[in-house]
Structure formats: C-alpha cells, structure tokens
Amino acid sequence: MAVSKCTRLSGTIIKQTLDSVDSVLFDCDGVIWRGDQAIPGASDVINLLKKTGKQVFFITNNSTKTRKMYADKLALMGFNVTEDEVFGTAYCSAMYLKNVSKLQGKVYLIGSNAMRQELEKVGIQQMGVGPDPISGGQSDWANVPLDPEVKAVVVGFDEHFSYMKLNRALQYLNNPNCLLVGTNTDTRLPLEGGKAVPGTGCILKAVETAAQRQAQIVGKPNHFMYDCVASQFALDRDRCLMVGDRLDTDILLGSNCGLKTLLTLTGVSTLADAEAHQNSGCPQRLGMVPDYYVESIAELLPALQG
C-alpha cells in the first residue's frame, strides 16, 4: 500500500503504480461509464492495459445484469472484454451459494431475471421473480404456502418488491436453517443531475428488519467479491489495483483485501469526502481513504501510450 494516502496520481507516479501491479479491478458505473455513455478515454485505458499484459476485471454491485449482458454493453462501447472478466453480484451470489454455502435446495429470490439466469446456470432452482400481488388478510399472509425445498432467501434489486414478497421472505426465514443472502447494501442509486432512487440496501434492510436476521452480503465492500475473482485467476493481492468512484464500496473493498486503491472523481464520491475520512481520526473511516485519486481514469492514458 502507498505510504502517503490520498495522493494525486500524476506524472511518473502513474507509471510506477502501473508497473507495481499485474491486475486492475474496475468498478463500472461512474468509473468507465455513466449511464449508457462511456467515460471519455476509458476504453483506450482498458484496451491498452490489456495490451501491456495486465489482467483487467470489472466488478459491480449491480445485480440486474448477467455477465453476458455486461460484456455485451462493454463491447458496444469499444472495450475489449470477455464475459469471464465480468463479476457482478448476480453471478457472485450464485457462486457464493454453490461454492461457499454448498446450498442443497431451492432459493426464494427477491431479485431480477438476471439473478434467476445466473442461479440457473449453476443448477440452483429459484422462485419469486416478478410481481407478487397482495390478496387475503393477515391470517392468510401468516400462513402463505411455502415450498419446503427452499433453503435460502436471496435479496437483490427488485423493481417488483412488495409487501407480499417481504412477508413471504419472513415466513421462509422463520426457519433458522434458511439462509439469508444479500447482493449489496447500497441504499441509493445516484442519477444524473443530483437525483437518486432507492437501492438494494433499502429492500434488504426491510427483509432483515422483518426477519430479525442479518444477511450475508456478497457484494462490495465484502471481501467475497475479490475472492470470487482471485479464486478463478490466482491473483496476487500485493500486485492488484482497485479502481472505483465510491469510497464506501470500491475503496473499502480494496482496503479490506489489502489492494492498492485509486479513486476516480467521475462518479459518486468527492475528494472532500476522502479528505474528511482521512482527517476524521476514526479507524473505521480510514479504510475509505484511497491511496491515490485521479479526475478520470483517462489520466492514465499518457503513461500507457508512452
């Protein structure tokens, strides 16, 4: 890790930093694209990193897309990417249930079609995707029919989240042997113009509150996101760089896993946010201080082109 935290990455420091790593992990939204528009210069950075022999991976807390959907979006934007370089929480949740939990049973899924597809790819049956309209009264809700083969409740982003889904999750989780797994705890999804919409963390908090249980979190800043990549590509954490725009997910993941960290200011967090954490004197907040920052990842281009 860098001796001095929150250092502006420029000049010769860029080349020195890139020379010190073999693998670079990028968050997506706010780092390499915003909405449907690539960050100017981002595709050149990614493609040149790969051309110089670096391993490049994309890790996102967004659970609404499969790996293939992300790879297709990246390809359309001019990025040289393969599907196996993409790690979203839909895919990583399936990996967690299969390889860590060793789940023997079905999943009640509060989530997206993408999550359903990723679970099915690894042989895990699920139910719950789509609307679940309310009917009956409280007695009916408390005695809603349950599938005895359901052994886990998995919560991701679900635009159809409802009282009935919350209730059904509660009834399954009344069984202490039923697992509760969440994709991420992001409470707000920032949009252009300073607007935001509720994120998965809001849905997950409702389920945790109703069930009086704490979920196992798969996504950033939990180390499992890194573990998922490292287990497939034999990464050396001492030679990895995590690049992101959010201090509480991307940078904290890097800190939790012992990676070098780079904040780009094209997304959510600001330099003032990072400096506030650095000056707080709070050990927990220091994990959200990046080693380096840039205005945009395009600032890496001169070192890669030279």
The residues carrying an active-site annotation are 27, 29
Q: Which amino acid is at 45?
A: V
Distance CA 280, CA 157 (A): 32
DSSP letters spanning 212-270? T-PPEE-STTSTHHHHHHHHHH---GGGEEEEES-IIIIIHHHHHHT-EEEEETTSS--
Decide: 90 and 155 in contact? Cβ < 8 Å: no
Q: Which amino acid is at 250?
A: D
Decide: 106 and 148 in contact? Cβ < 8 Å: no
Structure tokens at 190: 């920032």
User: What's the DSSP call for residue 32?
Assistant: T
